[in-house]
Amino acid sequence: MPRQRRQLSKTKTYHIMIRGNQRQNIFLDEEDKTEFIEILKKKKVHQEYLLYAYCLMNNHVHLLLQEDQDELSSIMKKINVSYVYYFNRKYLRIGHLFQDRFKSEAIEKENYLLATISYIHNNPVQAQIVKNPKDYQWSSYNQYVNPEETDFSLIIERTKVLSLFFSNEKRAIRLFIEYHTKPKQEHFLEYPKEEIKNLLNEKETEQLISQYLIQNNLSLKNLREKIYKNTRKELIRKLKEKSNLSTRKIASILRLNANIVQRIK
């Protein structure tokens, strides 16, 4: 079946989604996410594009950008190639990291631009990672509302977007924050929920295990005891469902025999 031609935007503005090949995680630790943001910054140096919003999830990325001195396909190729080179070199791997073709949606009107920015920033809230977008480090939300305290240099068109809310910056920020709490009627570019399941990396998996053990008043040593067999099964099933770790890695973290983990479905 031939690919559908991309819808071109008269404003040259697009909501972009890229995801890991076969739904795999494209960020395995915080260094990976920092590197991706640095790549976004580097590719803007020569005014190749303008960036309105971004959000990095474990296995996919949202970008809202506008063509400037370069075309969309070229922009995305440069970003993706740079990150894949970094990722493959770091993890000693070869081959594809991203799904072959990124998804794009044309943004024509200012009200839809703002609604899409809100949708992008609220992705971690919808995924139940945080309760408020300000608590998620890997989106551009805090570059709008609290740029002095963000860990990254400003790479978004902050002034332009805030001016759409109000001419006074302080009031514009208040309206921006309020706008992000309101439900939206629009339909946004997205993958089916079952396709964007954000699998936990090793650090996040260890945090989940720690929380689980605390909640059940257990230690790793207890998991090897016969009396806690059902509890152990429940935890292993949870880890297989929620993490991207191999059976061997899960067994190593839990200090269990790999065959025990393998048998639990």
Beta pairing partners, 64: 15, 53
Q: Position 15: which residue type?
A: H
Cβ of 214: how many Cβ atoms within 10 Å? 10
> What's the CA gap between 133 and 181, in Å, rounded?
10
Eight-state DSSP code of residue 127: T
Rounded CA gap, 49 and 40, in Å? 10
pTM to 2 decimals? 0.71
Determine the pLDDT at residue 3.
Answer: 54
State the burial class of residue 22 (Cβ atoms within 10 Å of its Cβ: 0-12, 13-18, 19+).
exposed
pLDDT score of 107: 93
Task: Spell out where the chain has E strands.
Answer: 13-19, 49-56, 60-67, 103-106
Q: In the 8-state DSSP scheme, what is residue 61?
A: E
State both tokens at 58. Answer: 């474990």
Encoded tokens for 150: 């963000």
pLDDT of residue 1: 43
Residues of the chain with pLDDT under 50: 1-2, 194-196
Residue 67 bridge partners (DSSP): 49
Burial code of 138-172, b = ≥16 C-beta within 10 A, e = fewer?
A: bbbbbbbbeeeeeebeebbbbeebbeebeeeeeeb
Q: Estimate the crossing angle of helix 202-215 against helix 247-254, to 10 degrees.
A: 50
Of 141, 147, 138, 139, the closest CA to residue 181 belongs to 141
pLDDT at position 66 is 94
- Give the per-residue pLDDT at 197: 56
Domain chopping of the chain, boundaries: 13-195, 202-263
Contact 116, 53 (CB under 8 A): yes
- Tell me the fold of 13-195: Alpha-Beta Plaits (3.30.70)
> What pLDDT is stored for residue 172 in this prediction?
95
